[in-house]
Amino acid sequence: MEIISNNYEIDNISYSLKKYFTANTIFFDIECTGLSPRKSFIYMIGYATRLGNKITITQLLANNESEELEILQEFEKVLNQYDCLLGFNSTRFDESFIVERCRKYRFNTSIKSKRHIDMYLTTTKAKCLLDLPNYKQKTIEEFLGLHRDDKYNGGELIPVYQHYSLVGDEESKNLILLHNFEDVKGMIYIADILSYSDLLTDEITFVKKEMDDSKLRFEVACNVSLPCPINKIRDYGIYMIKDNRIYVTLNLFKGSLYTFLPDFRNYYYLIEEDIIIPKSIGESMDKANRRPASKRDCKVSLEASFVSLPDKLDVGSNTRIFKPEYDSKEAFVNADDISDLLLVKIAKYMLKH
């Protein structure tokens, strides 16, 4: 078994690295000779630690299958020093593979007792923001602006490792080391992708708003600063996220709409006049000219500027909803009735839908 360590420094500790890559956390990635832990073995485990701005990437390399247990035992010593694991597709693959290979040797591992953050699974929770073609590590690296030197994937390097284990040539060794090194280094780089899923659960605060004849624009702030901006277009408006600010533009409709009163049972509908009146007033009127008002009858029109709402957004019972017709799926709020709290609610809804 060989242990290879490399150190480098990073200029800035981003939001995600500060939050997730602490002194009690390691990034890790395995390389193996196939996808089945019963038919294949682990020939390398790479892991990274951080101390301040200094990153150390360590690689445990088995020169052949007989040294697999050695790297598993060495990695277990490392695990005992840390509380949390970070990886990419690591709960379903890397961790499970290690557990199965340890079982083969009847060697107990503590890996399943550790807190484990799988960046792949976490990132897919932010699909509503990212819209990437897929969520593979290299795709996320390219989205965040990282272009690696390694041109191979793990599967392509299996015969390279097999050749190295037979003849021990340095060129093959360097290729497999480079691939694993860049996988681990790439995971550190793409830790910033975790900020997108964090944004979906972060607290958002109102900053300011302005309105003209056709648009309502407002700005909200969050605690998460995104590494790359996001722009989205919806039927009812658009939003842009830049750093820790979200800028939203909503469409305005100027005209006449109806609000439907919830207490329709308290009204009569006057058939000839096509109006509603409270039952307390209508009791004395001719029964032939009145009937109990239905939900559809019980409406009040208003001429104003209205904000188009996202579909199925719950604005609360204290805010009046306006529609073109009773059965219309479109819903609006009087622009004069919109509170800062409602704008924050709209922004949160837009991020998730």
Residue pLDDT, tens place only, 195-250: 999 999 999 999 999 999 889 999 999 999 999 999 999 888 899 999 999 999 99
Of 222, 192, 190, the residue nearest 206 (C-alpha)? 222
Residues of the chain above pLDDT 90, percent:
77
Answer yes or no: is pLDDT of 153 > 80.
no
Name the DSSP letter for residue 228.
S
CA distance 147 to 150: 9
Domain ranges of the chain: 2-196, 205-261+298-352
pTM confidence score: 0.84
Residue pLDDT, tens place only, 66-84: 999 999 999 999 999 999 9
Residue pLDDT, tens place only, 117-149: 999 999 999 999 998 999 998 899 889 988 766
Burial class (CB in 10 A: 0-12, 13-18, 19+), 316: exposed
What length is written for the chain?
Answer: 353
> Mean of the pLDDT values across residues 174-191?
92
Answer yes or no: is pLDDT of 151 > 70.
no
Give the count of beta carbons closer than 10 Å to the beta carbon of residue 151.
Answer: 9
> Mean of the pLDDT values across residues 260-283?
88
Answer yes or no: is pLDDT of 154 > 90.
no
pLDDT at 30: 97
Residue pLDDT, tens place only, 16-40: 999 999 999 999 999 999 989 999 9
CA distance 304 to 339: 16
Residues of the chain above pLDDT 70, percent:
99
Report the SS3 class of residue 56: strand
Q: Which residues contact 3 (CB under 8 A, 6 or more apart)?
A: 58, 59, 60, 61, 74
pLDDT at 149: 66
> Mean of the pLDDT values across residues 94-115?
96
Mean pLDDT of the chain, nearest integer: 92
> Mean of the pLDDT values across residues 266-271?
90
Domain 2-196, classified CATH 3.30.420.10, yes or no: yes
